[in-house]
Amino acid sequence: MTTLLVTHPACLDHQPGAGHPERPQRLQAIKQALSADEFAKLVHAEAPQATVEHTTLAHPESYFEALAKAAPEQGLVHLDGDTVMSPGSFKAALYAVGAGLLAVDQVMSGASHNAFCAIRPPGHHAERNRPMGFCLFSNIAIAACHARAVHGVERVAVIDFDVHHGNGTQDIFWSDSSLFYGSTHQMPLFPGTGAVSETGVGNICNAPLRAGDQGEQFKAAMRERIFPALMDFSPDLVLISAGFDAHQADPLGGLALVEDDFEWITLKLAEIAHKFAQGRMVSMLEGGYDLKALGDSVATHVSALIQAGE
């Protein structure tokens, strides 16, 4: 079986401005890291452009229209203090959504065992009606709803190990018992959500960590909270919000994970996917802002995906 790598050149055209951490060089660092010989077996695919019908799986049509209208013809538009649109941002966001759609299609059809989507802008902070935290569309929530709508998947789980809580995914999943969201993240930290008490309809499982926590605490949170809840949910498809800003070198977080921790979580989630979901797993890039740490962490993550598919 194969591991699929999905991206699109348009994702480089999202240009939030000088000094913004969510910069195009992030994808260039990933491309360089995945150019090593060990990744020659990856199957490469170019993401399609998502349509309004795709985005309305998770957002109202008025949200799509508002973002399309906000996109500038030149210069930058600030949607909030962190979230910026340039002339190429709206199209980049549609290709980011499209990457998840294609990855789900390929994994559900059996053409690929698992997949990694190297995309930007990220998505897990985009709520049903609000862009925020660098995010325009909720890429992974749309992918989850697509799996259900198109492939008849009954239970879709998203596991998020970004240093920031995925408030957008949680918002969209909140009242839907067929969708599961499990997250480890630093608290207190942007966006301020992700308390243990936030449980939706029993389908939300948050395991907050404290600044300075390392792999030991991260693994304990996964073992003691996230994995039991995920296995009780028994997913038919596992999606990963793969944020690598929990790395000890990242400038936007205070956790101290290293590459081995990302390998561990990838392989553990693969074991659960094998047990419940025929190994079907799709990972989508979220954060990660130190370029070397990002490249090294993605390489470790993708290597583990390849191993899981062999």
Residue pLDDT, tens place only, 115-141 = 999 999 999 999 999 999 999 999 999
Q: Residue 241 in 3-state DSSP?
A: strand
Asked whether the beta carbons of 243 and 161 are under 8 A apart, the reply is: yes
Topology of the domain covering 3-309:
Arginase; Chain A (3.40.800)
Catalytic (active site) residue 78: no
Residue pLDDT, tens place only, 207-241 = 999 999 999 999 999 999 999 999 999 999 999 99
DSSP letters, 264-297, are HHHHHHHHHHHHHSTT-EEEEE----SHHHHHHH
Q: Measuring CA to CA, which residue among 45, 236, 250 is closest to residue 161? A: 250
**For the chain, domain boundaries:** 3-309
The phi and psi torsions of 300 (rounded to 5 degrees) equal: -65, -45
Residue pLDDT, tens place only, 34-91 = 999 999 999 999 999 999 999 999 999 999 999 999 999 999 999 999 999 999 999 9
- Provide mean pLDDT across the span 241-248: 98
pLDDT of residue 206 exceeding 80, the answer is: yes
Confidence bin at 1 (pLDDT 50/70/90): confident
Residues 6+ apart with CB under 8 A from 157: 179, 180, 181, 182, 230, 233, 235, 237, 238, 239
Mean pLDDT of the chain: 98
pLDDT of residue 286 exceeding 90, the answer is: yes
The reported pLDDT for the residue numbered 109 is 97
Q: Is the pTM of this model over 0.95?
A: yes
The reported pLDDT for the residue numbered 310 is 83
Among residues 8, 14, 54, 125, the one annotated as catalytic is: 125
